[in-house]
Amino acid sequence: MTKLEQGSFLALLVLVTAMFFYLLKPFFAAVFWACVIGLLFYPLQQRFLQLWKNRSNLAALSTLMVCITIGVIPTLFVLASFFQEGAALYQRLESGEINIEQRIEQVRQAFPAIQLLMERFNIDLNTFKSQLSSAAITASQFIAQNAVQFGQDAVQWIVSLGLMLYLAFFMLRDGSDLVAQLTRALPLGDERERLLFSKFAEVTRATIKGNLVVAVVQGSLGGIIFWILGIPAALLWGVVMTVLSLIPMVGAGLIWGPVAIYLFAAGSWIQSLILIGFGAGVIGLVDNFLRPLLVGRDTKLPDYLVLLSTLGGFVLFNINGFVIGPLLAALFVAFWEIFIRDFNTPGETS
Complete DSSP assignment for 96-152? TSS-HHHHHHHHHHH-HHHHHHHHHTT--HHHHHHHHHHHHHHHHHHHHHHHHHHHH
Is the model more confident about 156 or about 145? 156
Identify the band that residue 15 occupies on the pLDDT scale cut at 50, 70 and 90.
very high
Q: What is the pLDDT of residues 51-93, one digit of tens each?
A: 887 788 888 899 899 988 888 888 877 777 777 777 777 777 6
Residue with the bigger pLDDT between 151 and 12: it is 12
- Structure pTM? 0.70
Q: Which of 180, 206, 239 represents a domain boundary (last residue)?
A: 180
pLDDT of residue 185: 77
Residue range 96-109, pLDDT digits in tens: 676 666 777 767 67
Indicate whether 146 belongs to any domain: yes
Residues 270 and 136 in one domain: no
Q: Which domain holds residue 62?
A: 27-180
Domain boundary among 180, 203, 231: 180
Does residue 18 form part of some domain? no
* Residue type at position 75: T
Give the residue among 70, 42, 322 at the shortest CA–CA distance from 174: 42
pLDDT digits 0-9 by tens, 259-308: 888 888 777 888 889 999 998 888 888 877 776 666 555 556 777 787 78
Confidence of residue 9 (pLDDT cuts 50, 70, 90): confident
- Give me the mean pLDDT over the 245-262 stretch: 81
- Which residues make Cβ contacts (< 8 Å) with residue 307, sequence separation at least 6? 247, 248, 249
Q: Are 78 and 150 found together in one domain?
A: yes
Position 344 in a domain: no
Which pLDDT band holds residue 192 (cuts at 50, 70, 90)?
A: confident
Q: Judge whether residue 45 has pLDDT over 50.
A: yes
Same domain, 306 and 198: yes
Tell me, yes or no, whether 203 lies in a domain: yes
What is the pLDDT, as a whole number, of residue 350? 41
pLDDT greater than 50 at residue 152: yes
Do 127 and 108 sit in the same domain of this protein? yes
Looking at the fold, whether 215 and 137 belong to one and the same domain comes out as no
First to last CA, the chain: 43
d(CA 330, CA 309): 9
- Answer for the pair 111, 261: CB distance below 8 angstroms, yes or no: yes
Residue 288 vs residue 39, higher pLDDT: 39
The count of domains in the chain is 2
Q: Please check whether residue 54 lies inside any domain of the structure.
A: yes
For 302, phi and psi rounded to 5 degrees?
A: -55, 145
Binned at pLDDT 50, 70 and 90, residue 348 comes out as: very low
Indicate the residue among 140, 156, 180 that finishes a domain: 180
DSSP annotation of 347 reads -
In a domain, 21, yes or no: no
Contacts of 224 (CB under 8 A, 6+ apart): 234, 238
Residue 224: the pLDDT is 92
Decide if 217 is inside a domain. yes
The half-sphere exposure of 142 on its side-chain side, counting CA atoms within 13 A, is 6
Let me know whether 156 and 43 are in one domain.
yes
Residues 168 and 194 in one domain: no
Q: What percent of the chain has pLDDT over 70?
A: 77
Residue 313 belongs to a domain: yes
Shared-domain flag, residues 99 and 206: no
For residues 215 and 330, membership in a common domain is answered with yes
When the pLDDT of each residue in the chain is averaged and rounded to a whole number, the result is: 79
**Claim to verify: residue 251 and residue 329 sit in the same structural domain:** yes
Average pLDDT over residues 193-204: 79
